[in-house]
Amino acid sequence: MEARIKIGSSDVFCNFCMGIYYQMKCGLTSIKDGNKKIMTLK
């Protein structure tokens, strides 16, 4: 698993194992989806 950030194209692929990082970098609109993925892993 990896977190990939493309600077300039604003494409952000976040590692959903990194919950806080995911929420901070992917924006508020992705927090719910991120939490679902984290909950699924746990």
Q: What integer pLDDT is reported at residue 29 of this predicted model?
A: 55
Q: What integer pLDDT is reported at residue 5 of this predicted model?
A: 55
Distance separating alpha carbons of residues 16 and 38, to the nearest angstrom? 6
pTM of the complete model: 0.19
pLDDT, tens digit, for every residue of 1-42?
555 655 554 445 545 556 666 566 656 555 566 666 655 665
In sequence order, the β-bridge partners of residue 9 are none
Q: What integer pLDDT is reported at residue 9 of this predicted model?
A: 47
Tell me which residue range forms the domain holding 31.
4-41
Domain count, the chain: 1
Which amino acid is residue 23, in one-letter code? Answer: Q
Q: To 5 degrees, how large is the angle CA 15–CA 9–CA 29?
A: 50
